[in-house]
Copies of this chain bind each other. A is one copy, B any other.
Amino acid sequence: MSHLDFAKTPPMGWNSWDCYGASVREDEVRAHADFMAENLKEYGWEYVVVDIQWSEPEADSTWYHAFYPLCMDEYSRLIPAENRFPSAANGVGFKALGDYIHDKGLKFGIHIMRGIPRQAVHQNTPIKGTDLRARDIAENNICPWNSDMYGVNVDKPEGQLYYDSLMELYASWGVDFIKVDDIANSYLYGGGHLKEIAAIRKAIDKTGREIVLSLSPGPAKVHEGWFLQDNANMWRMTDDFWDHWDALYVMFDRCAEWAPFVRPGNWPDCDMLPLGHIGIRAHDGGGGDNWTRFTKDEQYLLMSLWTIFQSPLMYGGTLPDIDDFTLSLFTNKAVMEMYHSLTSRRQLYRDEQFIIWEAASADDKYYGVFNVSEAAAELPAVLKELLDGESYTDLWANQELAKAEAMTVNSHGGRLFKVVK
């Protein structure tokens, strides 16, 4: 079995970072799983992902406490902080939380950092399955923005063993999705990150479990695209995405570049959706506890781009108090049908005002049109020509349109059209 044999459509779910930073607690995770099962599952939403530093007892926001001790087992593996995840007591790790999520028909995801805990290295603790110890397999390289880990020397069989022992543990917890961080984009230390990606790939394959592998942060490099296709299911195309127009605007370039790499099992990733209520205990991106700073037009544009490009969809806002508008973005049947069925997609046209994408499923043809200018404008002539003589549906408006319809697109707005046969 290869990783291309699952994740046949882009992964969809919820991730705790945009709301809670490094500090999410078990009750919060459960509440989101509850809501997802009841309201979103039918549209394809299924992964519930606990983001970074679930081993750090004092984590309280997106700001890490540098060099603080982490919870760790006897084999130098990080385990959940029990004060934050009570069900992890008695050494069961995330097994109980995973079971809870699975019982709802959903899937369970976790975040890890590339490497081995620095505290393990300086305490020189054991590695499962070998007499070598943490110091012997650590590499003198680090993540520049988090002080938890050193890299692992996977040229040594014992380095591979360590990653094997990690994945074995996660598989035993029932993990279905792993977001590995500090690994997709690395200018540090000459490209060693690629070796660690390959080692993690092997370690997952050994478990026999269908665990989606997601790589962060971006920007991943296009010239390494072939390697990422061979080793991962998702990889980030940009640095962390927040609710700023500039960050959204640049995604059009990234999607154009990465479109040739999209295929079943391989889903270049536009990052989480900072929509709805975010920033509860997250300070990144200049935000605070607030509702997304994207306008409604920008949210349509964002969802149109993410879905026609077939980025994974990982919602970053809260679910229990989600509003109707945000929910409507995730539960549009026509959009979701397009999103799940596309077999090709590419940027078709671009000028200062409009960007147009075209995409196709086995049966249907779609266009996405995006007004990236600062003023509302009529549909561009290029698109009118393409639609000329066709009937088409506006997917967000859920409206069939006569031929040659005059139509305005708001500034920073986006629309999706399906050509009606």
In the complex, chain B residues whose CB is within 8 Å of the CB of A227:
256
A146 touches B140 (CB 8 A): yes
**Stretch in contact with the other chain, from A78-86, A116-124, A209-217:** A116-124
In the complex, chain B residues whose CB is within 8 Å of the CB of A347:
226
Task: Give A180-224 as 1s and 0s: 1 = Cβ < 8 Å from B's Cβ atoms.
Answer: 000000001100000000000000000000000000000000111
Q: Which of A303-357 contact B (CB under 8 A)?
A: 346-347
In the complex, chain B residues whose CB is within 8 Å of the CB of A360:
none
User: Does A97 belong to the interface (CB within 8 Å)?
Assistant: no
Given contacts A140-B142, A146-B140, contact A124 B67 (CB under 8 A): yes
Query: How many interface residues does A have (CB within 8 Å)?
Result: 35
**Stretch in contact with the other chain, from A55-63, A168-176, A238-246, A257-265:** A257-265
For the complex formed, measure the closest distance between the CB of A172 and the CB atoms of chain B, giving whole angstroms: 28
For the complex formed, measure the closest distance between the CB of A385 and the CB atoms of chain B, giving whole angstroms: 14
B260 touches A67 (CB 8 A): no
Given contacts A119-B122, A188-B188, A226-B347, contact A138 B67 (CB under 8 A): yes
For the complex formed, measure the closest distance between the CB of A77 and the CB atoms of chain B, giving whole angstroms: 18
For A140, give the chain B residue with the smallest CB separation.
Answer: B147
User: Does A286 belong to the interface (CB within 8 Å)?
Assistant: no
For A153, give the chain B residue with the smallest CB separation.
Answer: B66
CA distance A208 to B91 in the complex (A): 58
A67 touches B122 (CB 8 A): yes
Given contacts A145-B140, A346-B230, contact A121 B67 (CB under 8 A): yes
User: Does A371 belong to the interface (CB within 8 Å)?
Assistant: no
In the complex, chain B residues whose CB is within 8 Å of the CB of A256:
226-227
Q: Which of A101-138 contact B (CB under 8 A)?
A: 118-119, 121-122, 124, 135, 138
Partner of A223, one of B189, B230, B257: B257
Given contacts A119-B122, A140-B145, A145-B140, contact A257 B67 (CB under 8 A): no
Best-buried of A118, A140, A146 by chain B (most CB within 10 Å): A140
User: Does A287 belong to the interface (CB within 8 Å)?
Assistant: no
User: Does A23 belong to the interface (CB within 8 Å)?
Assistant: no
Partner of A226, one of B68, B140, B147, B257: B257
A226 touches B141 (CB 8 A): no
A229 touches B67 (CB 8 A): no
CA distance A121 to B142 in the complex (A): 15
In the complex, chain B residues whose CB is within 8 Å of the CB of A189:
144
CA distance A261 to B261 in the complex (A): 8
Known: A225-B260, A260-B260. 16 other contacts (CB 8 A): A66-B135, A66-B140, A67-B121, A67-B124, A140-B146, A141-B144, A142-B142, A144-B188, A144-B189, A188-B188, A222-B222, A224-B257, A226-B259, A226-B347, A229-B260, A229-B346
19 contacts between A and B (CB under 8 A): A66-B138, A67-B122, A67-B135, A119-B122, A122-B122, A140-B142, A140-B145, A140-B147, A141-B142, A142-B142, A222-B222, A223-B257, A224-B257, A225-B257, A225-B260, A226-B257, A226-B260, A226-B347, A230-B346
